[in-house]
Each structure stands twice: as C-alpha cells, then as structure tokens.
Amino acid sequence: MIKSIYILLFVAAASVGCLQAQSKGNQPNVVVILADDLGYADVGFNGSKDIPTPNIDKIAKNGVIFKNGYVSFAVCGPSRAGLITGRYQDRFGFSRNPLYAPQDASMGLPLTEETMADILKRNGYYSIAIGKWHLGAHPDLHPQKRGFNEFFGFLEGGHHYMPEMWTLQDDTKAKSQNDGYKTKILRNTTPIDEQEYLTDALSREAVSFIDKNAQKPFFIYLAYNAPHTPLQATSKYLDRFNNIQDPKRKTYAAMVSAMDDGIGTVLQKLKEKGLEENTMVVFLSDNGGPTNDNGSNNRPLRGQKSNFWDGGIKVPFAIQWPAKIKSGSVYEKPIISFDILATVVGEINAPINPKKPLDGVNLIPFLSGKNNKAPHDYLFWRGFDRNIMAVRTESDKIVVIPDASQELFKSMKDVSEKNNLIEQDRKTFDLLMERWKIWNKELIDPIFLGLSHDKKYNELNPKRFVFEK
C-alpha cells in the first residue's frame, strides 16, 4: 500500500515537472479582449467615423480583420459560454442569459464543461479573468474554480461603472436581480474598495498582471462590460465627444473610448516587455449592439442584439499574433468565436477531452494560405425560447422565425440581408434546414431559467436572496 502511494506521488511529481518544463517553452501568451454590446460599425477598422479607436485598430492593423467573424449567440451569457468552452453552448444547456442567483450552483456554466483556462492551465499557463463573468455567481462557479488562477471583476451580468454606486458589500446584501450591479468589485473572492472608473480599473489590472507574469506563459481574459448599459462615463472621456449631440450616443462613445485607451495600455505593456511577437491578442464583441438601448451602430448589418440577422451575431473581430499572422490581413470566409480556443490548442498541441470535442478549428492554416477551404461547412444558431434559428455557410445564410418568416440570403453579396431569395432557391434553403435539424438533435434543452423568467424563478425559489448568517 505504502509503495503504491510512493509510486503515485512520483508520477504526480513527474507530471508537475513536465508542466513546468513545458511552461518554459515557446508557447504563445493569449490575451482575449471581449467588449460587451459593441456595435459592428463602432470601431475604426469597420468604418467608424465619430468614435476613434486607434488602439483597437492597431490589433487589426498588426494582424487580421475578420469580415465575417461571428459569435455563437446574440446575447451575453450564452455567447460567453460558447467562447470560453470552444463549444456550442446548447450542447450543455446554456441557452439563456443566467439570472443573478448567488446560491444556485446550477445557474451558470455546468461543472461538466472545461474552460479555456482549464485547458491552458494543464499546459503550463497562468491565467486571470478580468471584468464581467456572467457564467454563474455561485461560489462553485467562480472563475478560480473554473481554471483561472486569479480574478478581478464582478460575477453578475452587468455593473455600475462609478465607484460611489457600489453600495453593497457583497452578494449577501442583494435583494433583487438588479442589485448585482451595485456590489463591490472582487479581487479573487474578496470585495475591495476600488476607487477608479470601472473600465480604467479593469485595464490597470491587465497591465499589472502582464508586469508580474512576463516570465511565464499567461492567459488574460479581459472581459470589459463597456459599452453595455448603464451608460456611464467620466468627464475625461465625455469631453472628447462634444461634437456628438445625441446624449446617449455621446456617453456610449465615451465608454468605447475609455476601453480603447485601456487596450492601448495593454498593447504597450506587451511591447515594453518584449512579448508582442509571440502573444496572440484577440479583440471581439460578445454580440451585436442593442442600437435602441445604448446608441450603438451596426450598419450596414441588419438587426441588433438578441436576433439572428447579422446585426445580432456578426461582430468586430480581429487577431494579432506577429509570429504567426501576417499584418494587414483581411479574411472573408466565416469564422466563429469557438475558433479562438481551437487555434491555441492546435498551436500548442494541447490534448482535449475526447468526450467534449471542440466545435472550433485552428485558424492558422487558413490564414497562412495552406488551407484555402472555408474553415466551417456550416455555422448554426438556436434561440430556444423564441424558437428562432439560423445557418451560415460560406455563401449562404438562412434565418427562420417559425410561423413568421423564412429567409435565404447570399451573404457574401448581400451584407445587409435585404434580398430574400427563398423563392428563387428553395433547394438551398431546404438543405440548410435539414442540416440544422441534424445538428439540433445533438443539443439539449436549457438547464436553467433565464433573465426573462425572473418572476417565475422567484416563485420557485422564495429564498433566493435569503442568506444564512
């Protein structure tokens, strides 16, 4: 028995040694920068005229712009679940925006799923999640229980930006869904007395993390809540946009500008530390802009956040990685947020659980020209509660709202999705519908109630905000 224990300890020590040795190799650092509810046309590389984004544009200039870069859902929570796991979130029932329910371990990313941080941690990476989590507020679902070594941010689906508005010490003081916006910022699991405008604080923490961890491979998940509502900005950023008359658009622009400034400090720190060449920096939004809510601009795309026209699911998307990706590149074929994790995994040869295969692909062969095919034969979307769906191929896209509309677009030519060609090409429509039905059989129903079920959830869980002392 004792001998067996020694053998197990030896194997464990050897495994740790292998990881430490691996961590000293030429693994790329990974920085994923996620904006929240950003409009497609609200970055310079997609044509913005009234909101300068010079630092976000540097990522595009130094690497590749994806003209057809998609996310896996049209609202925050499910989109983030897809990105962080590299899998269609409907495979594991994350089909809704989770409620703020700090005592419910089922309200968020199920423990059966691995995150990007889990996978990279096994391969010698040190990681931090910064900003908006929105994958579960229960202690078991905390970022540090999901592969991240450190956390700085908030667990809820949104937050106030001004420190004076963080009036609740922690989750135990919450009495309603919206109280999650008022909690103090967490450093790991401890509420702190943060004094900076939230966007500035998140950027500061990313820069500090790079400073402290430059000697080892790291992963930063920098999930800004800007420019998600509530629309709040400091005079430092508001004063840049006195030319914008619409108050909503002006504040939105200020919030985007604050985020861009912060991204600039992150890029500068990477350069200062000599890490720019072998760091993969990704920029994207979690979904399209909710134009009526925050004054965002999705033109020329049709639709907005929450629907499956491109305005809801096609987002500003760029990657720089000088060691692997040619600067000034533009890629036209459809890709999706799943591909971020698949690309890293492919390049570092990280093993993946065969029972949880990734839905993404390694983009490097496609960007280098070694593979001229489309990365994906089909991309799929399912809106369970609204009973809507979409499919995208390289050339075609369908959007279906049963009992309301069936649409087929030639996506490369009809960027604004104006011309419904279903009557001219019923065969293509039927083929894509059949493919969607096959894919849909692989999915499961939602495993938790979502934001639209707040009242029902309270009825079923009357002690939702009753915390034991």
Query: Which tokens is 108 given?
Result: 């968020």
Please tell me the distance from the alpha carbon of residue 452 to that of residue 306, in angstroms, as a whole number: 12
In sequence order, the β-bridge partners of residue 392 are 379, 397
Kindly report each contact of residues 88-93 with a partner whose C-beta sits within 8 Å and lies 24 or more positions away, as own/partner: 88/338, 88/359, 88/380, 88/443, 90/382, 90/384, 90/443, 90/444, 91/359, 91/442, 91/443, 91/444, 92/444, 92/447, 93/444, 93/445, 93/446, 93/447, 93/448
Beta bridge partners of 221: 32, 129
Radius of gyration of the chain (CA): 22
Q: Is the peptide bond before 322 cis (omega within 30 degrees of 0)?
A: no
Q: Which residues are catalytic?
A: 76, 134
Sheet holding 150-154, edge to edge: 190-191, 186-187, 150-154, 126-132, 218-223, 29-35, 279-285, 317-320, 64-66, 329-331
Strands (E), 144-293: 150-154, 186-187, 190-191, 218-223, 279-285
The pair of three-digit structure tokens given for residue 41, joined into one six-digit string: 């046309």
